[in-house]
Amino acid sequence: MAKGSVRKKGKKWYYRFYVEDVSWNLVQKECAGTESKSETEKLLRQAMEDYESKKFIAKADNITLGQLLDTWAEEEFWQDINLEEQCLTVRRSVRYNGATHKHEIGSTKRKKVRSVDFGNALADILKKARIQQLKNRMQYGELYHRNFYKEVTAKNQVHYEYYNLGMTEDVPEDYTEISFVCLREDGCLELPATVETACRTATRKVPELEGFHFHTLRHIYTTNLLSNGAQPKDVQELLGHSDVSTTMNVYAHATREAKRESAKLLDKVVGMN
């Protein structure tokens, strides 16, 4: 039987117990309870009974680790991704505040929530990414990080600051846990600055990528959809453009550049590089 205990942090009680990791070592799993000790103890008993019946980490004669991770990926997906309907919800953005030196979680550029449909290829990529995150969480153990936001009010305005904490660190009462798709191996959020640095490095090292930046991928996405018969209005909604003319301008610019590059091919033929 798994061993467990409860402890109080701030006004809230937490319960913790030990489970087996992939190497069959005992690792501690902690979860938030309620403000009542007795209710939290009840949650602990239920969690330990569930562990004994299902086994978070399976034995060889039960189910393989790979099968277990597949099950977890289906049950514990990110809150803004629906694999069954194959769509994701765009509702927030992450920005760096130079004044406070904090990353903040806020609304989208136009402060609108939109749904974006995707196909089987991306669904498969997302599922594999989720399974890898679960593997990382088990392998890192206590060194893994969880992500949180904290509501902050300044000058009569509310914003949300991003924080990450190790598995063994106490969670402040005003922190709320949040799940992200793009994580580092240790569980921390992969921040936008990392992607920007990768793009700059790519443009510096790969001649064919001169002038490339991450936003270029939106233009490529737009061009590929429209070139293959997608309706402009549908593409506008997928991109979150306020007006369909913006979508068509992106397409027109991309196709014009492609024609220019094609025209320059003749220079190579006649030796005028």
Tell me the average pLDDT across 45-53.
Answer: 72
Alpha-carbon gap, residue 47 to 50, rounded angstroms: 5
156's torsion region: left (phi>0), alpha (psi -120 to 50) or beta?
left
Is the predicted pLDDT of residue 23 greater than 60, yes or no?
A: no
Which of the pair, 13 or 25, is modelled with greater confidence? Answer: 13
Mean pLDDT of the chain: 79
Specify whether the CB–CB gap between 142 and 27 falls below 8 A: yes
Q: Which helix (H) or strand (E) holds 17?
A: strand 12-20
State if pTM tops 0.75: no
Question: Domain extents for the chain?
Answer: 1-57, 194-269
Nearest to 15 by CA among 3, 2, 5, 1: 5
Core vs surface per residue 88-109: b (16+ CB within 10 A) or e: beeeeebeeeeeeebbbbeeee
Is the predicted pLDDT of residue 138 greater than 90, yes or no?
A: no
Alpha-carbon gap, residue 34 to 46, rounded angstroms: 14
Is the predicted pLDDT of residue 129 greater than 50, yes or no?
A: yes
> Tens digit of pLDDT for each residue in 164-196?
999 889 999 999 988 899 999 999 999 989 989
Percentages (nearest 5) of helix, strand, coil residues in the chain: 40, 25, 35
The whole-number pLDDT of residue 102 equals 93
Is the predicted pLDDT of residue 240 greater than 90, yes or no?
A: no
How do 175-177 and 145-154 pair as beta strands? antiparallel
> Tens digit of pLDDT for each residue in 248-271?
777 666 666 665 665 565 566 566
The whole-number pLDDT of residue 247 equals 78
Tell me the average pLDDT across 153-167.
Answer: 90
Which of the pair, 268 or 162, is modelled with greater confidence? Answer: 162
